[in-house]
Structure 1
Amino acid sequence: MNTQCTRLLLEGEYICDVRYPTEYEVLQDPAEQESVDSWLAGLNMRLARLGGDGAFFMAPLVVTALDQGRLRRELLDFRDVYGPAVVMLDLIRQADSLGLVLSPGEYIPLFELESAVANSGTLEMLLRSKLAVIHDGNPRNSVRENLRRLLMHLAKDGYVYLASKETETYRVTGKVEQLYAVLQFLSENKVIPDTEVDETEVDDPDLIDLANADEDPL
């Protein structure tokens, strides 16, 4: 069993072919998956995956009423739990000159993002209107500094990582698909965040996996 894989899983990481290509390749082996899964079972956890070829992550071994309740709370608190990432990723996506759809593996160069925002009054105003959700965002900062903090915030949440320190280029990770899965659930169930989740049956095991992936098993 690969100890680096188990360490990353215990830290709540999403092991994808973008962020952790070596560990991702290791986990492609069915025998390794079985070994890791057996080890996690001792912690009442298991190896889960985003779709058929997405990132690997750690999820509860058995979905309990407590897990369902926690998911409902997270969806009710959508604006606090997922909202900031949605807002920041959407701002990047609206920088048309970058041509990004924000799929795993795409690169986000800070310089190009700054140029796109600085050359668009609409985007610059949008950035300023969203500073409250960006960690350490400040209207006194330059556009570049606020965008740097935006990307650092997304990196802290695991949706991107710093691929090149020299060029300040970030790369979208496989974890972004977790966010998309939550948004899809809300859309398909016609849920209005913060208001209707308590009346919506939340029994999708895959979605419960996603909401509990970062739960500390110890």
Structure 2
Amino acid sequence: MFEHTVRLLLEGVFICEITHHEAFAFLNHPANQQAVNDYLGKIGLRLASTAHGGAFFAAHIETGGPEKKAAKEVFTKIKHELRPLVAFLEFVMRASQKDDVICAGSVIETASLMLSIDSNPTLRSDLQSLANLVKGPAADSSDRARFNKVLNRFKDEGYLFLANSEREIYQVTGKIEFIMEAIAFLSEHEKIALEDEEAEVTSQGSLL
């Protein structure tokens, strides 16, 4: 299990209970965590986990805090890349008519959501916009094809796991925790960077 788990981590996989149950259980033992971390440390990596412990992943060993300018650039890049994901999560919440925040383990039932979409012109329009936003081969004009395109995209990206192929039931994976934490972290750094810029402008203005 050690070799299998390390291989997954080196491939950039986010190991969670939903997608890799055995590897996740293996990493939940402190001794195994230490062994894996020691191995990764030899190649400049470390074993990391999300704040809520929903997923493990390999990260580069930190050598210092990121510069504020670099953090702002990274935030802008991630914000652009995550736009489809955020739009998808918001769409699912509206279609399911639930106020609960989507998190690791949340269930997405395709058939149930399609019933809501078919009966709501606004959702159908939003789905078309979402499908256009998501990268991938163009889907045909049916709402079902558009929704399948979106689901397959986020499954391929590791955010969804097909728990029941016959009933087309998906589960949100632990990778979602990492993304939410990254957004919160980078948002805070973006705020700090903007505050510093405003202070600098104010200071320059007082000198002129």
- TM (normalized to structure 2)? 0.81
Q: Which residues in structure 2 correspond to 1:1-218 (within 5 Å)? A: 2-64=2-64, 71-97=71-97, 101-136=101-136, 138=138, 140-185=140-185, 188=188, 191=191
Q: What SS does the corresponding residue of 2:116 show, helix, strand or coil?
A: helix
Contact 1:72–1:197 (Cα < 8 Å) also in 2: no
> What is the identity, as a one-letter code, of the residue corresponding to 1:17?
E
User: Are the structure 2 counterparts of residues 62 and 79 from structure 1 closer, same or farther at C-alpha, using a change threshold of 3 Å?
Assistant: closer
* Deviation for aligned residue 1:105: 1.0
Q: 2-side partners of 1:190 and 1:67: how far apart? A: 11
Cα deviation code 1:83-110 (max 9, x no counterpart):
1111112111111346753211122122
Q: 1-side partners of 2:127 and 2:79: how far apart? A: 17
Q: What SS does the corresponding residue of 1:94 show, helix, strand or coil?
A: helix
Q: Point out where structure 2 has 5 or more consecutive residues left out of the alignment.
A: 199-208
Q: What SS does the corresponding residue of 2:46 show, helix, strand or coil?
A: strand
Q: Point out where structure 1 has 5 or more consecutive residues left out of the alignment.
A: 201-218
Sequence identity of aligned pairs in percent? 28
Q: 1-side partners of 2:139 and 2:166: how far apart? A: 26
> What is the identity, as a one-letter code, of the residue corresponding to 1:89?
L
Aligned residue in 2 for 1:212? none
* Deviation for aligned residue 1:186: 5.0
Contact 1:158–1:173 (Cα < 8 Å) also in 2: yes
Which has the larger share of helix?
Answer: 2
Aligned residue in 2 for 1:206? none
User: Are the structure 2 counterparts of residues 187 and 60 from structure 1 closer, same or farther at C-alpha, using a change threshold of 3 Å?
Assistant: closer
Q: 1-side partners of 2:195 and 2:176: how far apart? A: 22
Count of aligned pairs: 198
